[in-house]
């Protein structure tokens, strides 16, 4: 008979197996529980600060608040460089699922140029985490709408309202004010990256560049809490930016416009100074350009057109144009010769219409040979020499003085050196001497070169601003000031810095100025044409400088010479004579002679002297 089934079971063995399984399960559960507890402990205790920081970075971000750029106003408070509101589209890479695709989408919708994309890349390389990087500046309403309508579908895209520079008078003031442009990687090598974080523009040339540290201001910041979509929920902390300081200029907008109109289409420059302070009342360079083109980035086509133009509109002729000063330096040489005893007011020189160096067959001709066939008079004294711009008189004087003495006499008037005006790009011109030629060219000085220098030709070069400064010395009987465009920065006066005085005896000054008055007010004066219906006295001096050399026996025929090879016309003046309120220097490029420059000066003088003296 078979044994019962229960007798075959090993109960003890089964119990042992079940117990071991239970223990293993309990150990596994305990281990998993321990791991879970440790993980909770690690997240909540050990790594709490790290995860809290990461959470805050997703929830809280710091936004830089760029400062408002200081404005520029004229002497009467009229805005010359202002700030206008505009929209900027930026990208926060951390909030985008695929930044590359997002940027491509924006490039298509906004028609971004290669230059804009390159600028975006440059900004991205120096950004902070969760910082919006501008990709499109200066949007109009239509361009903004193409993005704003789908903004909820473009995570990572932000739209900000900012202020950008605006020049309401465009070409009339471009060379004075300069312009701002986008901050480039090259700019940041000179600028403080922290101070310019969030700033899109910086001064590039002119006053905008020269006064950049004061115009820019100091950025602020704010900590904001955002939701998962990046929308700001509240501001947690805020430090307001410090706005840039405003500049008030000596410049008068009405006078500037009058000077622009007076030049018209003529290439050249006008500089008008206040002899009491050295303040720049007007400074025009023509042709010009519109500063607004550069604010948001000028196109390659527009820049190529400006840069390639034969008229060089980007050149600030007032401070960068260097021209032979011609006969405008004759009053300056006269004062130097009087002070050193080379002449007296009554010294008379024979004038056959030409001058010869001893032992030299070459004749240095006076300009009257072309129009009169003879000299100015049988003998010429100082007053007549200035009034009619007698070259023969100054050929003889230059020969007796010598180039080094002449350079010594002209240097205190500011020739051959920068004036120190508060703008960028100023050139120094050339005041030649035997030492200068040896250093610059490695050659000796020749007597014939002295003769040319005596009438402001040859190697001698000056800017219109230098000539205006020299005229200021004449107007003030030896006193002058460093020219300044800016009068005040905030509440601080920056202009009116006095230059070393030039010793001028009153009798010498009277003798020279008498000739300069005759330039305009005598019937034979070289600028007599501008004296019609004038109600005040002008002390002036005309000048003509050659662009191309004319052979010794050849006659200058303006009609036979191309327009760009014609003589330059120059004119310096101050008025009223007894109590000067304004000095002016004008250059009319290829104008043929001083007759192209003196009427421009007359219009500027008339406009300013019509102003009330207390303005």
Q: For the residues of 287-348, what is the DSSP string, one character each?
A: S---THHHHT---HHHHHHHHH-TT-TTS-HHHH--B--GGGGHHHHHHHHHHTTS--TT--
Question: Residue 217: left if φ>0, alpha if ψ -120 to 50, beta else—which one?
Answer: left
pLDDT at position 582 is 98
Angle at 244 between CA 253 and CA 129, to 5 degrees: 135
> Does residue 27 sit within a domain?
no
The reply to whether 452 and 421 lie within a common domain is: yes
SS3 462: strand
In this model, does residue 51 exceed pLDDT 70?
Answer: no
Nearest to 469, CA basis, from 564, 373, 329, 341: 329
Rg of the chain in Å (alpha carbons): 38
SS3 608: helix
The reply to whether 91 and 198 lie within a common domain is: yes
Least confident of 39-43, 318-322, 394-398: 39-43
The reply to whether 420 and 333 lie within a common domain is: yes
> Does residue 574 sit within a domain?
yes
Give the percent of the chain with pLDDT over 70. Answer: 90
Please count the structural domains in the chain. 2
Q: Are 438 and 241 in contact (CB under 8 A)?
A: no
Interval 533-550 mean pLDDT: 88
pLDDT at position 240 is 86
Interval 379-383 mean pLDDT: 97
Sign of CA dihedral 318, 323, 328, 334: positive
> Does residue 30 sit within a domain?
no
In this model, does residue 153 exceed pLDDT 60?
Answer: yes
Least confident of 182-186, 378-382, 426-430, 597-601: 182-186
Indicate yes or no: pTM above 0.85: no
> Does residue 56 sit within a domain?
no
In this model, does residue 371 exceed pLDDT 90?
Answer: no
Cis peptide before 457 (omega within 30 of 0): no
In this model, does residue 76 exceed pLDDT 70?
Answer: yes
Kindly state the DSSP code that residue 476 receives in the 8-state scheme. T
Of the three residues 207, 234, 249, the one that is the final residue of a domain is 249
> Does residue 531 sit within a domain?
yes
**What are the pLDDT digits (tens) for 435-459?**
999 999 999 999 999 999 999 999 9
The reply to whether 194 and 228 lie within a common domain is: yes
Give the percent of the chain with pLDDT over 90. Answer: 60
Instruction: Write out the two tokens for 125.
Output: 């390389």
pLDDT at position 61 is 66
Residues 6+ apart with CB under 8 A from 251: 74, 75, 80, 176, 279, 280, 281, 282, 283, 485
Q: 10 Å Cβ neighbour count for 350?
A: 13
In this model, does residue 58 exceed pLDDT 70?
Answer: no
> Does residue 46 sit within a domain?
no
Which CATH number do you get for residue 191? 3.90.1310.10
**What are the pLDDT digits (tens) for 155-171?**
777 777 778 899 999 99
Of the three residues 220, 249, 278, the one that is the final residue of a domain is 249
The reply to whether 192 and 298 lie within a common domain is: no
The reply to whether 245 and 302 lie within a common domain is: no
Cis peptide before 576 (omega within 30 of 0): yes
Which CATH number do you get for residue 405? 3.40.710.10
Angstrom CA distances, 585 to 269, 447, 468, stand at: 8, 30, 5
pLDDT at position 59 is 63
The reply to whether 245 and 259 lie within a common domain is: no
pLDDT at position 185 is 75
Q: 10 Å Cβ neighbour count for 607?
A: 22
In this model, does residue 256 exceed pLDDT 80?
Answer: yes
The reply to whether 357 and 234 lie within a common domain is: no
In this model, does residue 193 exceed pLDDT 90?
Answer: no
Least confident of 238-252, 481-495, 559-573: 559-573
Containing domain of residue 197, as a range?
61-249
Q: Are 540 and 403 in contact (CB under 8 A)?
A: no
pLDDT at position 64 is 79
The reply to whether 100 and 148 lie within a common domain is: yes
> Does residue 6 sit within a domain?
no
> What confidence category does residue 556 fall into, taking pLDDT thresholds of 50, 70 and 90?
low
Mean pLDDT of the chain: 88
In this model, does residue 5 exceed pLDDT 70?
Answer: no
Top-confidence residue, 114 or 469: 469
pLDDT at position 559 is 60
The reply to whether 178 and 264 lie within a common domain is: no
Kindly state the DSSP code that residue 3 receives in the 8-state scheme. P
Q: Can you tell me the distance from the alpha carbon of 27 to that of 158, in angstroms, rounded to the nearest whole number?
A: 54
In this model, does residue 553 exceed pLDDT 90?
Answer: no
In this model, does residue 500 exceed pLDDT 90?
Answer: yes
**What are the pLDDT digits (tens) for 459-489?**
999 999 999 999 999 999 999 999 999 999 9
The reply to whether 172 and 101 lie within a common domain is: yes
pLDDT at position 506 is 96
Interval 302-327 mean pLDDT: 95
SS3 497: coil
Top-confidence residue, 524 or 135: 524
**What are the pLDDT digits (tens) for 393-427?**
999 999 999 999 999 999 999 999 999 999 999 99
- Write the DSSP assignment of 365-434 as a string of letters: E-THHHHTSS-SSSEE-HHHHHHTT-HHHHHHHHHHH-HHHHHHHHGGGTTTS----SSS-----B---H
The reply to whether 171 and 121 lie within a common domain is: yes
Q: Is 327 a catalytic residue?
A: yes
Of the three residues 186, 217, 249, the one that is the final residue of a domain is 249
> Does residue 38 sit within a domain?
no
pLDDT at position 3 is 55
List 288, 327, 531, 545, catalytic entry: 327
pLDDT at position 422 is 96
Place of tokens 């207390």: 614
Interval 369-397 mean pLDDT: 93
């Amino acid at each position: 008979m078979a044994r019962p089934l229960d007798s075959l079971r090993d109960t003890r063995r089964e119990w042992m197996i079940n117990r071991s399984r239970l223990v293993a399960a309990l150990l596994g559960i305990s281990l998993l529980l321990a791991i879970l507890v440790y993980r909770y402990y690690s997240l909540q205790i050990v790594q709490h600060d790290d995860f809290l920081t990461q959470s805050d970075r997703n929830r809280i971000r710091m936004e830089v608040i760029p400062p408002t750029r200081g404005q520029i106003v004229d002497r009467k408070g009229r805005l010359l460089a202002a700030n206008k509101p505009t929209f900027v589209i930026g990208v926060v890479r951390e909030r985008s699922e695929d930044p590359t695709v997002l940027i491509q989408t924006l490039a298509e919708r906004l028609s971004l140029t290669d230059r804009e994309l390159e600028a975006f890349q440059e900004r991205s390389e120096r950004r902070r985490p969760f910082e919006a990087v501008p990709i499109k500046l200066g949007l109009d309403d239509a361009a903004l709408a193409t993005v704003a309508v789908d903004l909820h579908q473009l995570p990572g895209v932000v739209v900000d309202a900012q202020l950008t520079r605006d020049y309401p008078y465009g070409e009339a003031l471009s060379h004075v004010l300069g312009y701002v442009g986008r901050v480039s990687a090259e700019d940041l090598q000179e600028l403080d990256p922290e101070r310019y974080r969030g700033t899109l523009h910086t001064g590039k040339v002119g006053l905008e560049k020269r006064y950049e540290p004061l115009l820019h201001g100091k950025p602020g910041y704010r900590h904001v809490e955002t939701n998962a979509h990046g929308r700001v929920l509240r501001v947690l902390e805020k430090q307001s930016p410090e706005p840039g300081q405003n500049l008030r200029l000596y410049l008068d907008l009405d006078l500037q416009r009058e000077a622009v109109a007076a030049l018209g289409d003529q290439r050249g420059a006008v500089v008008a100074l206040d002899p009491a302070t050295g303040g720049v009342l007007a400074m025009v360079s023509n042709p010009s350009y519109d500063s607004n083109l550069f604010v948001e980035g000028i196109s390659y086509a527009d820049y190529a057109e400006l840069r390639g133009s034969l008229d060089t509109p980007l050149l600030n002729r007032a401070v960068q144009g260097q021209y032979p000063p011609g006969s405008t330096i004759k009053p300056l040489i006269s004062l130097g010769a009087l002070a050193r005893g080379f002449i007296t007011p009554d010294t008379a020189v024979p004038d056959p219409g030409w001058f010869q160096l001893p032992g030299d067959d070459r004749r240095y001709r006076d300009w009257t040979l072309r129009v009169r066939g003879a000299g100015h008079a049988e003998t010429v004294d100082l007053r007549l020499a200035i009034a009619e711009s007698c070259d023969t008189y100054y050929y003889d004087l230059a020969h007796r003085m010598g180039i080094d003495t002449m350079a010594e006499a002209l240097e205190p008037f500011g020739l051959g050196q920068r004036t120190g005006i508060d703008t960028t790009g100023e050139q120094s011109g050339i005041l030649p001497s035997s030492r200068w030629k040896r250093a610059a060219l490695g050659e000796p000085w020749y007597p014939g070169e002295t003769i040319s220098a005596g009438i402001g030709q040859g190697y001698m070069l000056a800017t219109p601003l230098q000539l205006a400064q020299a005229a200021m010395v004449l107007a003030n009987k030896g006193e002058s000031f460093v020219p300044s465009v800016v009068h005040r920065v905030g509440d601080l006066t920056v202009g009116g810095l006095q230059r070393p005085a030039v010793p001028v005896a009153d009798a010498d000054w009277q003798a020279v100025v008498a000739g300069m008055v005759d330039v305009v007010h005598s019937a034979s004066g070289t600028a007599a044409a501008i004296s019609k219906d004038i109600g005040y006295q002008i002390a002036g001096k005309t000048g003509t400088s050659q662009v191309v050399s004319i052979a010794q026996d050849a006659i200058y025929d303006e009609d036979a010479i191309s327009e760009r090879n014609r003589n330059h016309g120059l004119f310096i003046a101050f008025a009223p004579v007894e109590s000067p309120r304004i000095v002016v220097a004008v250059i009319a490029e290829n104008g043929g002679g001083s007759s192209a420059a003196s009427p421009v000066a007359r219009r500027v003088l008339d406009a300013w002297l019509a102003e009330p003296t207390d303005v």
